Amino acid sequence: FKTPQGNPSEHLPHPQVGKSWQPGEDWTQWYPEHVVIPGVQAEDKIDAVYKGDLAGMFILDDKAKSSGVYEAGKHHQQYQEYLQSAHYKTSKDKDRMSCSSCHAAHATEDKPKMIAAKDSCRQCHDASYTVDKYMPGTGQTVQGLFVRTHTFNKNPRPPQTTVSGEPVYNKP
pLDDT of res. 47: 92
Confidence category of residue 34, pLDDT binned at 50, 70, 90: low
Please give the C-alpha separations between residue 152 and each of 25, 82, 102, in angstroms, as whole numbers.
28, 8, 13
Percent of the chain with pLDDT over 90: 2
pLDDT of res. 163: 58
pLDDT in tens, 139-155: 777 777 778 888 888 76
Query: Buried (b) or exposed (e) across 156-167, using 16+ Cβ within 10 A?
Result: bbebeeeeeeeb
Is the pLDDT at 2 greater than 80? The verdict is no
* DSSP string of the chain, one letter each residue: -B-TTSSBPS----SSTT----TT--GGGSSTTT---TTTSTTS-TTS---GGGTTSB--SHHHHHHT---BSBSS-HHHHHHHSHHHHTS-GGG---GGGTB-TT--SSS-SBPPHHHHGGGTS-TT--HHHHS-EEEE-TTS-EEE-SS--SSPPPPP--TTSS--B---
Of 7-21, 33-47, 91-105, 131-145, the poorest mean pLDDT is in 7-21
Confidence category of residue 122, pLDDT binned at 50, 70, 90: confident
- Residue scoring higher pLDDT (2 or 83): 83
Q: Are 146 and 138 in contact (CB under 8 A)?
A: yes
- Average pLDDT of 57-68? 88
pLDDT in tens, 81-108: 888 888 888 877 777 888 888 887 777 7
Confidence category of residue 119, pLDDT binned at 50, 70, 90: confident
Average pLDDT over all residues of the chain: 77
